[in-house]
Amino acid sequence: MTLPKIYVAGHNGMVGSAIIRVLKKKKVFIITRNKSQLDLTNQKAVLNFFMKKKIDQVYIAAAKVGGIFANNNYPAEFIYENLMIEANIINSAFLSGVKKLLFLGSSCIYPKFSKQPMSEEMLLSGKLESTNEPYSISKIAGIKLCESYNRQYGLSHDIDYRCLMPTNLYGIGDNYHPENSHVIPALIRKFHEAKIKKELKVIVWGSGNQKRDFLYVDDLALASYKVMNLNKKIYKKSVKTMCSHINAGSGSELTIKKLANVIKKTLNYNGNIEFDTRKPDGMKRKILDNKRIKKLGWKPKFFLEEGIKLAYKDFLQKEKLKFE
């Protein structure tokens, strides 16, 4: 029996490594390449790789990512590199005969003032958040690339390229940089350092009243495998030709205040939490509508408290620290 060859682009990242963990439990042959081995922005190199490897399935988790500072200061790099990565992979996959592909995007594809929860139909219904517009546009382009190849070559070449849009992710493999990380890893670092230094309080930006939903990265990996392997007829009934992406959200929301208290409790920090209302809250509410993927039989397995514990353990391992 020949095992299906599956290429995971971006296998060293948080999402890609989680997909690898899921695939290792399946009867498949996993193919990966480091950036030094394959430059995904190099069209010729990517096409040669695909032609040589005869790949069956592709998960696109590779992307140039960063926080608000990076997006604001390097917009050209964010839009160019992400467009090149997805265009090279999707086109090379098609030219080399890959029938199944999954493109992973981001909830930032939706307009700044979207109706909440954000359904798939909100795509292209308004203006994007200006701070990460170049990145968002590249992700929208990835969706439209998959849709366009399906529309033009779906019947003639039997291709089936799908798209999954995750909410705010956290977990093993996250970025805990003190100045360039997302809210959960940033708070894990803050509470840990306050605990070690025996500081009396932790200051959290904003009022704490803004609402978000968070998904543990291994839940996204399981959602990715689920969507990739859905029966084609079932999948097609769930999407539209020009709106074929699927949201992957937790289905629940909580305030940043509640989140901070969960992290405080998980890390056994005994000080106080102070909210700096002089700092901006951002959107008051931002949550993905996950009705579509729930109907397809997926739901998260990891509760927030459990996920935070695993993320904190990952943080300690990365920092080469030990529990007190």
Q: What is the mean pLDDT of residues 8-32?
A: 98
Task: Tell me the backbone φ, ψ of residue 270, rounded to 5 degrees.
Answer: -100, 0
> What is the per-residue pLDDT for 35?
95
What's the pLDDT at 324? 47
For residue 179, pLDDT over 90 is answered with no
State yes or no: pLDDT of 141 exceeds 70.
yes
Report the candidate in 311, 304, 303 with the shortest Cα–Cα distance to residue 175.
311
Give Cα 152 distance to the centre of its chain: 27
Question: Distance between CA atoms of 153 and 132, rounded to whole angstroms?
Answer: 32
Whole-angstrom distance, CA of residue 40 vs CA of residue 63: 10
Identical fold for domains 5-170+215-248 and 183-211+251-286+302-317, yes or no, is no
| CATH topology assigned to domain 183-211+251-286+302-317 | UDP-galactose 4-epimerase; domain 1 (3.90.25)
User: Pairing state of beta strands 211-212 and 285-286?
Assistant: parallel
Beta bridge pairs of residue 236: none
- Homologous superfamily (CATH) of 5-170+215-248 is NAD(P)-binding Rossmann-like Domain (3.40.50.720)
State the DSSP H helix or E strand holding residue 182, giving kind and residue range, or none if neither: none
pLDDT at 158 over 80: yes
Contacts for 137-140 with beta carbons within 8 Å, 24 or more apart?
137/79, 138/78, 138/79, 138/82, 138/83, 138/86, 139/82, 139/105, 139/106, 139/108, 139/109, 140/105, 140/109
Tens digits of residue pLDDT in 57-87: 999 999 998 877 788 889 999 999 999 999 9
Q: Name the band, by pLDDT with cuts 50, 70 and 90, for residue 321.
A: low
135 is catalytic: yes
Q: Where are the domains of the chain?
A: 5-170+215-248, 183-211+251-286+302-317
Share of residues in the chain with pLDDT > 70 (%): 99
pLDDT of residue 87: 98
β-strand partners of 240: 243
Residue with tokens 């009867």: 27
Catalytic position from the list 7, 59, 110, 135: 135
The DSSP output letter for 69 is: H
Q: What is the DSSP string of 211-247?
A: EE-EEEHHHHHHHHHHHHTS-HHHHHHHSBTTB-EEE
Name residue, tokens 């405080």: 264
Residue 322 has pLDDT above 70, yes or no: no
Measured distance CA(20)–CA(18) in Å, rounded: 5
* Average pLDDT along the chain: 95
